[in-house]
Structure formats: C-alpha cells, structure tokens
Amino acid sequence: YAPPKDDFLSCLTRSVPPRLLFAKSSPAYGATWSSTIRNLKFLSDKTVKPLYIITPTDASHIQAAVICGRRYGMRLRVRSGGHDYEGLSYRSDKPEPFTVVDLSKMRQVRVDGKQATAWVDSGAQLGEIYYAVAKATPKLGFPAGVCATIGVGGHFSGGGFGMMLRKYGTAADNVIDAKVVDANGKLLDRKAMGEDYFWAIRGGGGSSFGIVVSWQVKLVPVPPTVTVFQIHRGVNDGAADLIVKWQQVAPSLPEDLMIRIMAMGQDAMFEALFLGTCNDLVPLMNARFPELGMNPTHCNEMSWIQSVPYIPLGKSGTVRDLLNRTSNIKAFGKYKSDYVRDPIPKAVWETIFTWLVKPGAGVMIMDPYGGRISSIAEDATPFPHRQGMLFNIQYVSYWFGEGSAALPTQWSRDMYAFMEPYVTKNPRQAYVNYRDLDLGVNKVVGDVSTYESGRVWGEKYYKGNFERLARIKARVDPQDYFRNEQSIPPLLK
Ligand code: FDA
C-alpha cells in the first residue's frame, strides 16, 4: 500500500524530471522553499510548509502537476516572485498537505520591438522585463511596480502599478494575451479560454483561476529623457499643508507627471517621475504646485531605464541591479491598504504625523491616481479602483526579529482603525496585491470555499466585480481546486 502522497509523486515523475522535484527530505528543499521568501515573518519553524516543491522548466510540467494533483487530492500553491505579503504562495495558514509550483526557472522575456509587444513568463521578475525591453529599444518601457524583484505572475494577477500608473494604468491593463494551465490541466491561450476567463486573470488576484504560464503585453512609449526628484519636507516646515495641496493637485496633473509621498516619522518625501526634461518640468511645477519649491537643482535627468533602479535604490542603483534576483529585504512585515476619494483635512494630517512617531510606527506610502488608471471603466478589468479615486495608501509596518512583532502589528491595526472615517466606505476598498488576511478569509464547507465568506474580503478588493469573478470561478473551477485563504470562491447555482 502506498499512501496518497507517494501516488502523487510517482504520477509526477512520469512527466517531470526528478531534479525538478523536492521532497521535505531532499537536501535542497529548505533552500528552494526559502529562496524567494520576502517576508521573514514566514521563515519560521511554525510556518505550515509544502510537502513537495516542483520547479518546472516547461508548461507540460505544470500541466502534469495539476493533473496528478487532482487525481491524488494534492492541492497546489503557485509562486512566481514570492512577494505575497501574507506568504500565500508558499505557506498555508492552517495545516494541510500541499505542493508548491515554483516558477522561478521559467522567466524568459521575448520582446518584439516592431510590434511593441512582449511575451513574458510568470517567473520573470519585473526588473527582467524592464531590462529586456530597454535593451531591445530605448523608446519603449512597461508600466508595473517599483521593486525589481517582484514576480510577474502574482503582480499582473492583482493589477500591478508603479511610477507610470497615471500615464499607462496598471500592468494588467496592458496585457493582451496569456497562457494558462486550467483546473483540468489544459494549456489555454486567450482565444481558447474566452473573454470572461481572460478578464478574470487580469486583476482578479493570483491562484484562483489556474496557473498563468506567460503573458503577452503591450509595451509603451517612453521619451529619451525623464526627470526624477525627491524633496523632503518636515512637519515643522509645513508638511501637512503641502500634503493638503498635493491631494488636490497630484491626481489632476498632466499624466506625464507622478508625484507620490512617503511619510515616515516627522518627514514627508515627495518623489516624482516626469516623462520629460527638467526644462519642461520646472515651469509645470511652478504653475501647478509652487508651494513645493521645486527648482532645477532638484532635477535628476536620465533615461527611463535608469530611473527604474534609481527610484527605489537612489544614486547607487544601476541598470544591472534589475537582473539581481537576491533581495536585500531583511524585514518582517505587516501591510495594509486604503483608498481615498475625498481630501483629508489638514488637522487630520497633523494627527497622522503624531501616529507616525508612536511606538511601532511604520511608513505610509501614497500613490496618486487620476489620468489613465482612473479613466478605465470600473468593470473593464477586476481592478475597480478607478474614477474619482484621489490616491492609494499603503501602511507598511516592519520589524527585525521574531520577538519584535507586537508593537508594529498593533500600530498597523490601530492606525487602520483611526483612518476609517477618512477613506472609502461601503466597501472600504483595498488593493489585492497588498494582501491582508485581517480583511477576512474563506470558510470551506463541503470542500468548497463559500461565496458568503469570500464576499467579506472580496468586495473590498473588487467591489461589484467580485460577483462576476465568482461566477467565472464556478465555470472554470467549480470544485474549487485552486484555492487559498483569499481565493475567489465559486458562485454555484
Ligand atoms: P507570489 O509569487 O508570492 O504570488 C502572489 C500571489 O499570486 C499568490 O497568491 C500566488 O499563489 C499567486 N500567483 C503567483 N504566480 C502565479 C501565476 N503564475 N499564476 C497564478 N497565480 C499566481 N505592488 C504594486 O502594485 N506596486 C509596487 O510597487 C509594489 N511594490 C512591492 C515591493 C515589495 C518589496 C513587495 C514585497 C511587494 C510589492 N508589491 C507592489 C506587491 C506585489 O505586487 C504583490 O505582492 C504581488 O502579488 C507579488 O507577485 P509575486 O509573483 O512576487 O508573488
């Protein structure tokens, strides 16, 4: 008699070379599992780990994992870049047997400069697309997240935005085709999966509808010179007044200009990417936001591809860093998000700055919307945070040792409670790529996640699009094979 897990394994070894399979007893299991863990909170003995890890090098290996998994009752979790804030791509919240399909060996980027398109494998990191596109032609770029090590698979699945969101929307807004392994182990492209299914995978969150192997994206024009500035302003130097003005100005500036804010302690940093030269930026800033005092000494002119490492890493960041897959993130973290539609009064910003110096205080990152991201219809993709949205807030709490979680975690919850009156309501919207299990988790009844339990967190991420996602889930995966704590439940009749 062989226990079921061995049946799964022997099924798998008929299609997948053993060097791509890791059991808990394999010497390389630990290093493979931890290779892309970006939240050290989950690098713990208490974490529920996979029984096996598969590192496919071909779509057929992924198909075999799904077929064998379904046949022998082994659930799969898929990991591309491992940046999930709650670690759902490589751990389970509750004890259960599962296998991780780790796509880090599938990361080709094929650029077609003439057509301004590219096919990108899910296991590529964002830096690898940016690099390949700029190498093919410096006239093109791609709008996605700020950190180069983020995986394409998870990022595109939830939307994905960065410094060009006002000009070109989310990464998912620029996807034109995809290849997916569905719950029957079939490999489908856009034509074969149909428009509803294709709609769902462009923002409906990872891991609900199948395993996306690769994505075809539309590349976007970038000018020869862009300008970056970073201007700090302290609370005693009028930071609250400036933020009040920023709320009004930043979402309505020309789409070529994005000014985001990072607020930490008693400081607000205004960080901008302008798709143009310093000569054009200075008069625009003087006309629209003179209070910031921006002048030519603040300008850092460079090519678009140089701006990509510059923004997170500063002057030390180089274009080669975009290919570096070893992350220097050494933090344990808890993350939450909000959306703001109505300007927040100055007195509240002053109070927010008192929160930012409380014990355990983290950072607030605010990305303005408006422009392209806001002009797309709310139901055009599952990502619903569109018209009239002023900005997104990300609350980042972090700490540096297993025993130090209490204060930052409490700060994160208290800060979130304090902000409630000033952010979107009914639902209080949140961004799925800033995954937060405090918003709710699925209940499983009769081996299927229930629609009602999913609605609790799902309408926050997707608003009215949640129901359509659940109907599509019922059609493509009615038995809820692809599931995790926050996967879309099937809306069964
Ligand atoms: P990971 O592999 O952990 O997957 C995330 C989720 O998607 C999991 O549920 C996983 O199962 C599923 N999934 C992964 N691959 C899949 C596939 N091929 N098919 C189907 N499902 C799949 N966001 C943003 O919009 N802008 C930003 O600038 C940043 N910056 C940022 C910095 C840092 C340091 C971190 C840690 C995170 C961000 N993020 C972000 C959030 C980021 O977009 C989010 O965590 C993405 O889901 C990460 O995608 P990965 O593939 O890396 O994650």
In 202-266, which ranges are continuous DSSP H helix? 239-249
Give the global pTM: 0.97
Atom index in ligand 1 nearest the CA of residue 103 equals 18
Fold held by 109-221: 3.30.465
- Cβ atoms of 174 and 152 closer than 8 Å: no
Alpha-carbon distance of 327 to 125, in angstroms, equals 11
Interval between CA 313 and ligand 1 midpoint (Å): 20
Domain ranges for the chain, please list them. 4-104, 109-221, 225-302+331-439
- Ligand 1 pocket list (CB less than 6 A): 38, 77-85, 88-89, 103, 122, 145-147, 150-151, 153-155, 157-158, 160-162, 206-207, 211-212, 329, 433, 484
Interval between CA 488 and ligand 1 midpoint (Å): 16
Interval between CA 81 and ligand 1 midpoint (Å): 6
The continuous run of DSSP H or E covering 230 comes out as strand 226-234
What is 4-104's CATH number? 3.30.43.10
Atom index in ligand 1 nearest the CA of residue 81 equals 52
The ipTM, to two decimals, is 0.99
- Was domain 225-302+331-439 assigned CATH 3.40.50.300? no
Cβ neighbours around 291 below 10 Å, total:
15
Place of tokens 């093919």: 136
Interval between CA 76 and ligand 1 midpoint (Å): 17
Ranges of beta strands (E only) in 236-331 are 257-264, 267-274, 300-302
For residue 347, what are the contacts with CB-CB under 8 A and spacing of at least 6? Answer: none
Atom index in ligand 1 nearest the CA of residue 79 equals 2
4-104 and 225-302+331-439: identical CATH topology? no
Residue 399: helix, strand or coil by DSSP? strand
Atom index in ligand 1 nearest the CA of residue 39 equals 36
Atom index in ligand 1 nearest the CA of residue 484 equals 9
pLDDT in tens, the chain (493 residues): 445 556 999 999 999 999 999 999 999 999 999 999 999 999 999 999 999 999 999 999 999 999 999 999 999 999 999 999 999 999 999 999 999 999 999 999 999 999 999 999 999 999 999 999 999 999 999 999 999 999 999 999 999 999 999 999 999 999 999 999 999 999 999 999 999 999 999 999 999 999 999 999 999 999 999 999 999 999 999 999 999 999 999 999 999 999 999 999 999 999 999 999 999 999 999 999 999 999 999 999 999 999 999 999 999 999 999 999 987 777 899 999 999 999 999 999 999 999 999 999 999 999 999 999 999 999 999 999 999 999 999 999 999 988 899 999 999 999 999 999 999 999 999 999 999 999 999 999 999 999 999 999 999 999 999 999 999 999 999 999 999 999 999 998 7
